[in-house]
Amino acid sequence: MIKRPVAPAVARRDFIRLAGATAAGFLALGATSDRIRIVASITSLSLDDELTRRSMTESATTRLGGLIAGLRQRGWVEGVNFHFELRSSFGGPDKMKAAVAELIDLRPDVILTGSTVETAAIIAATKTIPIVFATSNDPVGNGFVQSLAHPGGNVTGFTSSTPEMGGKWLQLIKEAVPDIQRVGVLFNPASTPRAGRYYLDSLEQEAASSGVAVVQAPISTPAEIDGAIGRFAESPKAAMISLVDSFLVVNRQAITATAAKYRVPMIYPFHYFIDAGGLMSYGPTLEVRSADYVDLILRGTKAGDLPVQSPRKYELLINRTVADSLGLKIPFTLLARADEIRE
């Protein structure tokens, strides 16, 4: 027997409120009423994680909330003509395997994935159920799609960065901390694109031209965070870069706290880290566009016929209070370019 729902009761009520409408309403919006569709999603975060709870209660400002709100605008009302199913892969390989199996057993009409790791696991489990990845950094290199313009198969979605981001992160952190002689690169080889090489090539190229030494800091367990960051508190002067990595997002609180503990300046790829007390971030502006593709697929469009889309805008966030605590005076030229300055 299929177990439903998994999401916390309060969050699910908020989701239904967010979707809110009547059967007459969805018919007026043009959605088909022949049967209840199933939209499924998998996340690497725990269902108790703050980001997961926020996604379940906010609208256009979060990925899942924006999806539900966007589907409602297109005539799909949760609990009326479709059901939303969320599973978490948090907890290790066995949990991942179980979460994937549960979603496949639901026989959903479309599956929305949140990270490269989850996307790979779902693709390995089905070649027929349509898959939309909300974020993927190297979908061609990972074998998810044949090309960005013509994905083919049962998969499409949205990329969240490019290989050149590695060099850009180094430029920004060096501008914030001009006297660094080395930069540590934090990542988990198992969950970052191409085991880190996707970004390291451009990062190392930029480092060579700016006279900064690149020191890789790979980790695979939360217990390794302290040691990986702590060694950059010693001379010569260093800063750090966090790569795009679902493992690091899950452990963002521990990472930002450890960076503060050792007074190590670090730049991150997502605003989630700034929310957790990080110094600065540079990455794609959150645009919840997955509802467009999920709607088209529910109406019969093949996932492989929909081109993979890239970010349309990037944003720079700086926390000046954190900078002050680290004894940094962020140059005005950098502050002037920030999309948001937090105090």
Does the pLDDT at position 7 exceed 70?
no
- What's the CA dihedral at 145, 270, 263, 256 to 10 degrees? -90
Give the CA angle between residues 262, 265, 271 to the nearest 5°: 115
**Run of H or E including 50:** helix 50-57
Q: How far apart are CA 250 and CA 49, in angstroms?
A: 8
Q: Give Cβ neighbours of residue 211 (< 8 Å, ≥ 6 apart).
A: 181
Q: How far apart are CA 88 and CA 96, in angstroms?
A: 8
Architecture of the CATH domain 165-284+315-342: 3-Layer(aba) Sandwich (3.40)
Which of the residue ranges 16-25, 68-77, 176-185 has the most confident prediction, judged by mean pLDDT? 176-185
pLDDT given for residue 321 in this prediction = 96
What's the whole-number mean pLDDT along residues 226-251? 96
**Coil, helix or strand for 124?**
helix
Does the pLDDT at position 10 exceed 80?
no
Read out DSSP for 245-275? -HHHHHTHHHHHHHHHHHT--EEESSHHHHH
Mean pLDDT of the chain: 88
What residues are paired with 187 via a beta bridge? 218
pLDDT given for residue 35 in this prediction = 87
> Residue 56: pLDDT band by 50, 70, 90 thresholds?
low
Query: Are the folds of 9-161+286-312 and 165-284+315-342 the same?
Result: yes
- In sign, the C-alpha dihedral spanning 331, 333, 338, 341 is positive
Contact 191, 246 (CB under 8 A): yes
> What are the residue ranges spanned by the domains of the chain?
9-161+286-312, 165-284+315-342
Does the pLDDT at position 59 exceed 80?
no
What's the whole-number mean pLDDT along residues 228-244? 97
- What's the CA dihedral at 145, 147, 151, 155 to 10 degrees? 20
pLDDT given for residue 303 in this prediction = 97
What's the whole-number mean pLDDT along residues 143-157? 96
- Domain covering 9-161+286-312, topology: Rossmann fold (3.40.50)
Does the pLDDT at position 15 exceed 70?
no
Does the pLDDT at position 164 exceed 60?
yes
Does the pLDDT at position 339 exceed 70?
yes
Q: How far apart are CA 99 and CA 226, in angstroms?
A: 30
What's the whole-number mean pLDDT along residues 44-69? 76
Contact 59, 69 (CB under 8 A): yes
Q: Residue 281 burial by CB count (10 A; 0-12/13-18/19+): exposed, middle or buried?
A: buried
pLDDT in tens, 33-44: 578 999 999 988
**By mean pLDDT, which of 115-124, 216-225, 257-266 is the weakest?**
115-124
Q: How far apart are CA 275 and CA 214, in angstroms?
A: 27
Contact 337, 316 (CB under 8 A): yes
pLDDT given for residue 33 in this prediction = 53
Q: How far apart are CA 89 and CA 99, in angstroms?
A: 6
Structure tokens at 85: 């199913």
